[in-house]
Amino acid sequence: MSNCIKPVHHSSLRIEYEKNIFDVSERTKQSYSTALNNFENFCYQKTQDLEIIKKLKNIEDDKLWVFLQKWIDSNSNLEPGSVKIFFSHIKKYLYFCGIKITNQEVNENLKFVTANKKPLYLLTQKEIAQILDELSYRDKTLFLCQISSGLGIGELVQLTKAQLTYVNRRMIVTLNPSKYNEKITVFGKESTDMIKPILRTKDKDDFVFGTNKNTHYSEINKEQVLRRALKRCSLNMTYPNSRRHKINTGSFRFFHFVNVSDYDFNFACYLRGCDNKINPTQINKMSNEELLDKYFEVEDKLTIFN
């Protein structure tokens, strides 16, 4: 990217557009903001005109596609998937500004770099133990809970004490109760024993692990905590010719899914919440007893220290 200093102020259309973004998560709003900052910086670098978006409405189609292709090419330092996500946000912004382009037109006129799919890195129990030994008690507990439950890091930093039910020396975790996308999983005995002292200091509506009401910031915090731990134990590897790290906060969830899938793929999907992959005959909600009976069969594979 250019050394051009990013403008302090946003265009008037950008300000108006962001006022109309509602009913989305804070994380999604942050993603929109990052994409639009990137695009406005590019526009200012090329034209020194913060309101160039108003002029783009009136330029010839060919010149618009050239301009957008140059923006894509200027982001060659980013992961291909990130550029596509940014563009999907920018496309909505352009539509708001009166520049209406279809997906077919995008496919015919723009060229995105195709990501080389890399196999996900599967952690070993020994590597997990190395990493967790570098963490504070609270963060060690968080990642043990992720390993035993398959929850995403965003779900864990939003978790409250009220969402946990102690049953048979394990914690039943219930997210989105009474909603169509209710999700139920388990913290195994190892992570339950670890989380008990933390819960004693919490009221029912307190976050168990989250440090910020903004989920996105809490997720970033945990990613940074993990990154420092990985450096200390020399596991901060990246894929060849890429800045993408092999191990991230999703790696512990992947460890859970692979190990439970080896036992029962449908059950792994049930715990993960991806009902669309479950055999329809297996979708019925389980009782706590049924859930734990199946969980006990795979718990040893999800236990790191005990």
The pLDDT, as a whole number, for residue 161 is 95
The pLDDT, as a whole number, for residue 284 is 66
The ranges of the chain with pLDDT < 70 are 1-9, 22-25, 115-118, 177-181, 274-284
pTM: 0.69
Q: Spell 42-65 as b/e; 16+ CB within 10 A means b.
A: bbbbeeeebebbeebeeeeeeebb
The pLDDT, as a whole number, for residue 20 is 78
Q: Which two tokens stand for residue 216?
A: 């996105």
Instruction: DSSP letter for 281, please.
Output: G
Task: Give ∠ CA 40-109-244 in degrees, rounded to 5.
Answer: 60
Those residues with Cβ within 8 angstroms of residue 120's Cβ, 6 or more apart along the chain or in another chain: 251, 254
For residues 281 and 299, give the distance between their C-alpha atoms in angstroms, rounded to a whole number: 24
For residues 151 and 259, give the distance between their C-alpha atoms in angstroms, rounded to a whole number: 14
For residues 281 and 279, give the distance between their C-alpha atoms in angstroms, rounded to a whole number: 5
Q: Which tens digit of pLDDT belongs to each residue from 151-169?
A: 999 899 999 999 999 999 9
Give 203-266 as a DSSP string. Answer: -TTSBSS-S-SSHHHHHHHHHHHHHHHHHHTT---B-TTS--BS--TTHHHHHHHHHHHHH-HH
Closest C-alpha among 122, 164, 107 to residue 141 = 164
Q: What is the distance of C-alpha 304 from the center of its chain?
A: 24
The pLDDT, as a whole number, for residue 276 is 44
Instruction: DSSP letter for 160, please.
Output: B
Identify any residues that bridge with 184 across adjacent strands, giving them in sequence order: 174
Q: What is the CATH number of domain 125-302?
A: 1.10.443.10
For residues 146 and 133, give the distance between their C-alpha atoms in angstroms, rounded to a whole number: 16
The pLDDT, as a whole number, for residue 177 is 61
Those residues with Cβ within 8 angstroms of residue 306's Cβ, 6 or more apart along the chain or in another chain: 189, 190
The pLDDT, as a whole number, for residue 212 is 82
Q: Which two tokens stand for residue 269?
A: 């999907």
Q: Which tens digit of pLDDT belongs to each residue from 17-69?
A: 888 776 666 777 888 888 998 998 898 888 888 778 888 878 887 889 999 99
Identify the residue whose tokens are 């940014």: 86
- Look at the alpha carbons of 233, 239, 245, 246 in this order and tell me if their dihedral is positive or negative: negative
For residues 44 and 52, give the distance between their C-alpha atoms in angstroms, rounded to a whole number: 8
The pLDDT, as a whole number, for residue 14 is 84
